[in-house]
Amino acid sequence: MQLLHLMILLPFLFVVFIPFLYRRFNSQLHTGWFVLFIPLILLLYLVTFIPKVSNGNTIFVSMPWIPSYHIDFTIHMDGLSLLFGLLIAGIGTLVVLYSIYYLSKQREALHNFYVYLLLFMGAMMGLVFSDNIFVLYVFWEMTSISSFLLIAYWYERDKSRYGAQKSMLITIFGGLAMLAGLIMLSMISDTYSIREMVSGNRVTAFTSHDLFIPAMILILVGAFTKSAQFPFSIWLPDAMEAPTPISAYLHSATMVKAGIYLVARLTPVFGGAYEWFWLVTGVGLVTLLYGSINAVRQTDLKALLAYSTISQLGLIMSLLGLGSAALYYGLGDEAAVYAIAVFAAIFHLVNHSTFKGCLFMVVGIIDHETGTRDIRRLGGLMHFMPISFTLTIIGGFAMAGLPPFNGFLSKEMFFAAVINVIKMDFVYNNFIGTLIPVLAWIASAFTFVYCMILIFKTFKGKNKVPKVEKPIHEAPMGMLIPPLILGLLVILIFMFPNVLSAYILQPAWSGVLPELAEKGKLQIEISAWHGLNTELWMTIGVIVVGTILYLTLRKWYRVYLIYPEAATLNRLYDNALKIMELFSRRITDRYMTGYIRDYLVYIFVFIVVMVGGSLWLFDGFVYTPSMDAPVNIYEVSLVIAMVISALTVLLSKSRMTAVISVGALGFFVSFFFVLFRAPDLALTQLVVETVTTVLFLLCFYHLPQFKKEMSHLRFKVSNALISIAVGIVVTSVALSANGTRLFPSISSYYEDAYVLAGAKNVVNAILVDFRGIDTMLEILVLTIAGLGVYILIKLRLSGRGRDKNEEAK
Amino acid sequence: MIKGMLICSLFFLTFSIFAIIYRLVKGPSAPDRIQALDALGINIISGVAIFSVLLGNTGFFEFILLIGILSFIGTIAFARYIERGVVIERKHSE
């Protein structure tokens, strides 16, 4: 246990105190103020690592958790995890500050909110710093669960519960797939430590392993579901039912980037394989396009931002995919060209966290101050909320990729990366490969359109005050501070990108591509102006086309109406759930009939199939007549008599006949014991038989008077077949068992009973001496049966109650 | 000589048992069957006795006594059931 461990566990430890603080202090002070210190402490503590990590050092500390399985709580801090840690702690601080002003002290269950939030924060911290894959998985699932709790924070709303359930199902599905993938990965690499998987020459050895592709796909499913990639992106828009601070924190800045983190983290393991390149790049691009096109049609501001998050995550994901090509080229100079894509991904990740956090908070402010998030009801807010307007412009333009905001830089790098990809030798002259820049460009144009919608439809145009419930005014200062800080960061990153790059982005980059970093190939200078090159023309094209599209939005908006609602992914998800539920209910209804008869049929058929089947398959049936004892005439005639009385039981028309025949059968069985020289058995059998017969007669009295089934047993062909089959199987098993004796019986030992136990009766000596425990337990069984019968007869509570009710009637 | 006689009597006993079974299966009414069951017990008594002599074993004599008692009890139980509809009557004080 070291200070770093304590840092990760700090949110979890503090969670314990929140309810007490809430109960004690909430009437005077918003609980959020106590919580605020936790992310702040984390942030300040993590900042102290920046100089160390930016010099290329990594920190590695371990704490045993389950040592016998080599599962240790290992923390590995390199550039990548430090970057994520700073994002989590930094935006976490701002979000807590924002939530203090956003959530009402009187109306909301604040202790729940901050408990869930801190759980999430701790889980996310653990996720990015864990080196052991299983610890990573534990934290991964904790983020899913805490996200579930946070989405359903207003649990009395239907939509919140729906969104929470949906995100839970999808992310847990992905998480489980990822667990399988991680286990496969540990089998391939023979280690649980990501650091060890990445280091050394193991990478090349992996690709030839059979499990390489399955592990890759399963892990990617996990990453894609968490990061809302196509087609698993559907949970994110529904997760917008969460309070806005949560949307800003989880569903834009941190949790949805867990998948990105995982992909980046495992790039050294899987990168360089074609499948990885195409899967990550392809899915990323499709998500980018899907998100940006869908964002344009949204009328709810948060839904718009959700789809834009999906789209931006797709952008980052595709950049990571493109960057993985660097590993395909090994360590050559070409690799460095493609490695820039990874840098762009990391850069955009930071940028996105800043501007998207800012935008979500502004949307929260609008919602808070006007009471609606619907674009159609908003407009002309510019004069009422100038600061929010400025912040929206900053965030929106950054998202659209315009100067002078940080989005411009990463968008330019994105274009550079997609243009570079055409030169790649396995993409060259490939139709899909050349499609990549085109798709990226189209998606960027749509991005521009929805950014403009966000800014201008909300703040410009006619003032629709009558439609708005409250008198509009600017938000309190405390609510504005967090987005202001983020907005300031957006501009600062544009102004001084190289400071950020040198201290944070470069180390993170070398965390993704450690081998290239060792060779010193990863050096980059970000500049806002780098000549009139293709990227700049592409950006200008985006602006021109985007502006035209925005201005003519009303004319082509009908295009969206062509696409049928029934073919959306959400509908598919809903229908799939419904059909699965219906299908499983039908199947269950079908075989769980409620009749013991049917269940017995299953059991007997199972016995016949399993026992008979294995007898037949493995040639288990053996019959050796030499083992048989000689058969004499009494036994034969006794068997005939028994068969006749057994058949009489089956074919009898009245219960009485059946009981009498059972009695006769019992007599014959005891006679058999005589023939086989077992006097004790014969005695017991006879007594038990008589008692049973008398009990049967007792039962007769209690049978209901009406509907007495004096009819012939309903004959069913299937039942007859099954019973015959069971008889044949059991008989053949008995014959085979008799035919194959593996070792002689141990009964000769008991023949010395007189010497050993002082008993002449061997059977009784075995029962009470050699194996007395069995007898004791049999006595117990009889006692329990007797007590049970007594209780059943005496303790008829419900029956008595019913009788009284009937009397009352 | 004695063994031949014993086997011979066993043969007749078997024949009688089968005749009883015929009555047991066929017996038009329950009392017929109960009579058959009772007779079956008695036949088994003699069968076991002959076997004991054949085997030269006295271990089954208790069995003979027991079967006599139980066959009696069983028959009484059946008879009571047919006569009164119950085997064990409750007190009417309830």
pLDDT tens string A221-245: 999 999 988 888 888 888 888 888 8
Closest partner CB to A697 (pick from B25, B55, B81): B81
Q: Which residue of A has its CA nearest to B24?
A: A661
pLDDT digits (tens, 9 = 90+) for B44-86: 889 888 888 888 888 788 888 888 888 888 888 888 888 877 7
For residue A675, what pLDDT is reported?
85
Which residues have CB under 8 Å from A120's CB, separation 6+? A142, A143, A146, A147, A150, A249, A250, A255
Label residue A71 by pLDDT band (50, 70, 90): confident
Label residue A798 by pLDDT band (50, 70, 90): low
Q: Which of A350-359, A470-479, A538-547 has the lowest mean pLDDT?
A: A470-479
For residue A711, what pLDDT is reported?
46
Is B89 contained in some domain? no
Q: Which residue has the higher pLDDT, A708 or A771?
A: A771
Q: pTM of the predicted model, to two decimals?
A: 0.81
Whether the CB of B59 is below 8 Å from some CB of chain A: the reply is yes
Is B41 contained in some domain? yes
User: CB-hemisphere CA count at 13 Å for A764?
Assistant: 9
Distance from CA of A699 to the nearest CA of B (A): 9
Is B90 contained in some domain? no
Q: What 3-state DSSP class applies to A65?
A: strand
pLDDT digits (tens, 9 = 90+) for A399-457: 888 878 888 888 888 888 888 777 766 665 567 777 888 888 888 888 888 888 888 88
Using a CB-CB cut-off of 8 Å, the residues of chain A touching B34 are: 660
Above pLDDT 90, what percent of chain A? 18
- Mean pLDDT (whole number) for A173-185: 92
For residue A173, what pLDDT is reported?
93
Is B29 contained in some domain? yes
Distance from CA of A683 to the nearest CA of B (A): 6
- Mean pLDDT (whole number) for A368-390: 80
Q: Which residue of A has its CA nearest to B42?
A: A667
Is B17 contained in some domain? yes
Distance from CA of B31 to the nearest CA of A (A): 10
Name the packing angle between helices A386-400 and A406-422 (round to 10°). 10
Is B92 contained in some domain? no
Q: Which of A349-353, A535-539, A607-611, B8-12 has the lowest mean pLDDT?
A: A535-539
Closest partner CB to A679 (pick from B30, B33, B62): B62
Which residues have CB under 8 Å from A576's CB, separation 6+? none
For residue A809, what pLDDT is reported?
44
| Chain B interface, best mutation among A644, A660, A700, by max B CB count within 10 A | A660
Angle at A327 between CA A324 and CA A333, to 5 degrees: 115
- Mean pLDDT (whole number) for A60-64: 87
- Mean pLDDT (whole number) for A658-673: 87
Contact at CB, B77 and A697, closer than 8 angstroms: yes
For residue B93, what pLDDT is reported?
52
Q: Into how many domains does chain B fold? A: 1
Name the packing angle between helices A133-151 and A110-129 (round to 10°). 160
Burial class (CB in 10 A: 0-12, 13-18, 19+), B92: exposed
Q: What 3-state DSSP class applies to A73?
A: strand
Burial class (CB in 10 A: 0-12, 13-18, 19+), A784: exposed
Distance from CA of A763 to the nearest CA of B (A): 13
Is B12 contained in some domain? yes
Label residue A204 by pLDDT band (50, 70, 90): low
Residue B16 has pLDDT above 70, yes or no: yes
- Mean pLDDT (whole number) for A667-678: 87
How far is C-alpha A690 from the chain's CA centre? 61
- What's the domain range around B27? 2-84
The complex's ipTM works out to: 0.83
Give the residue among A649, A723, A727 at the shortest CA–CA distance from A693: A649
Q: What 3-state DSSP class applies to A61?
A: strand
DSSP B20-33: HHHHHHH-SSHHHH
Which residues have CB under 8 Å from A125's CB, separation 6+? A7, A8, A11, A42, A85, A88, A89
Label residue A470 by pLDDT band (50, 70, 90): low
Is B93 contained in some domain? no
Give the residue among B43, B33, B48 at the shortest CA–CA distance from B81: B33
Distances (CA, A) of B70 to A192, A518, B33, B37, B74: 74, 97, 17, 11, 6
pLDDT digits (tens, 9 = 90+) for A582-629: 999 999 998 888 888 888 889 999 999 999 899 888 887 887 777 778
Rg over alpha carbons for chain B, rounded to the nearest Å, is 17
Q: How far apart are CA A629 and CA A675, in angstroms?
A: 13
Mean pLDDT of chain A: 84
For residue A1, what pLDDT is reported?
62
Q: What 3-state DSSP class applies to A216?
A: helix
Are A175 and A222 spatial neighbours (Cβ–Cβ below 8 Å)?
Answer: yes
Record the tokens describing residue A803, joined without a space. 């009788």
Record the tokens describing residue A542, joined without a space. 């985006």
Identify residue A40 by its one-letter amino acid code. Answer: L
How far is C-alpha A560 from the chain's CA centre? 33
Torsion sign across C-alpha atoms A182, A188, A192, A193: negative
Q: How far apart are CA A6 and CA A42, in angstroms?
A: 10
Q: How far apart are CA A760 and CA A509, in angstroms?
A: 89
Identify residue A139 by its one-letter amino acid code. Answer: F
Give the residue among A442, A448, A440 at the shortest CA–CA distance from A398: A448
Distance from CA of B86 to the nearest CA of A (A): 6
For residue A779, what pLDDT is reported?
95
Whether the CB of B2 is below 8 Å from some CB of chain A: the reply is no
pLDDT digits (tens, 9 = 90+) for A540-585: 888 888 888 888 877 777 777 777 666 678 888 888 999 999 999 9
Which residues have CB under 8 Å from A474's CB, separation 6+? A369, A384, A385, A386, A387, A388, A480
Q: How many A-B residue pairs are in contact by the CB < 8 A criterion?
A: 94
Distance from CA of B60 to the nearest CA of A (A): 6
Mean pLDDT of chain B: 83
Q: Which residue of B has its CA nearest to A668?
A: B44
Which of 15-34 (B) contact A at CB < 8 A? 17-18, 21, 24-25, 27, 30, 33-34
For residue A803, what pLDDT is reported?
53
- Mean pLDDT (whole number) for A121-142: 91
For residue A751, what pLDDT is reported?
84
Q: Which residue has the higher pLDDT, A524 or A745?
A: A745
Give the residue among A288, A318, A556, A233 at the shortest CA–CA distance from A442: A288
For residue A792, what pLDDT is reported?
85
Give the residue among A248, A423, A243 at the shortest CA–CA distance from A334: A423
Contact at CB, A694 and B74, closer than 8 angstroms: yes
Torsion of CA A261, A262, A267, A268, to 10 degrees: 100
Q: How far apart are CA A267 and CA A510, in angstroms?
A: 11
Using a CB-CB cut-off of 8 Å, the residues of chain B touching A693 are: 74, 77
Count of residues in chain B: 94
- Mean pLDDT (whole number) for A733-749: 83
Q: Which residue has the higher pLDDT, A714 or A311?
A: A311
Which conformational region is residue A736 in: left (phi greater than 0), alpha (psi within -120 to 50 degrees), or beta?
alpha
Q: How far apart are CA A789 and CA A128, in angstroms?
A: 63
